[in-house]
Amino acid sequence: MHMPTQIPGRILCCCLMAAASSFALAQAPAPAKPAVGSVVSPAQTYESVLSTMEKQFVGAAEAMPEDKFNFTPAPTLGEFKGVRSFGDQIKHVAETNWYFFHDPTKPLVDNRADIEKLKTKAEIVQALKDSFVQAHAYVDSITAENAFVATEHGTRAGMAAFGTAHLMDHYGQLVIYLRMNGIVPPASRSGM
């Protein structure tokens, strides 16, 4: 059986992205486990996951130097044509946090245009942090009574689950961008 001597770039890139995302998530400290038989509220469940993702995502955003916020992988490294820059990844997540984690009893505020105008690292990271304030308020409002009540955009529990999954997806992309620039993500550093 003949084994190829080179791994095609697309396969290698996909494998690296999957491995880095899995490794980064494995490095997060495990939340305290509730006592067996105790009742855990939906808000407590989502808050634990959201807090972990916030720490990892904001840490990654803060780790990238400002002069690298426009970084995108070179097309020679794989299929990277048209991908978002590092800063654009963060802006996208800030925008979508406002969507996924908005109060379904109030009109959805579309602040995409305002976030898209942001240019500096400080402005972009602040928009991200502000979006997490909204996200925490949202998950804190989820109760056993309202978690699965249908709203215009889905159930509260469903939106929270989709929102956190979306964060994980983009965090994996940030990890790759950081590592391509020689930066170990804060959540992956020893002692974390």
Residues of the chain with pLDDT under 70: 1-39, 76-77, 190-192
| Count of C-beta atoms within a 10 Å radius of residue 98 | 21
- Element (DSSP H or E) covering residue 14: helix 9-26
pTM: 0.77
Domain ranges of the chain: 48-72+82-188
Residues 44 and 141: beta-carbon distance below 8 Å:
no
Fold (CATH) for 48-72+82-188: Four Helix Bundle (Hemerythrin (Met), subunit A) (1.20.120)
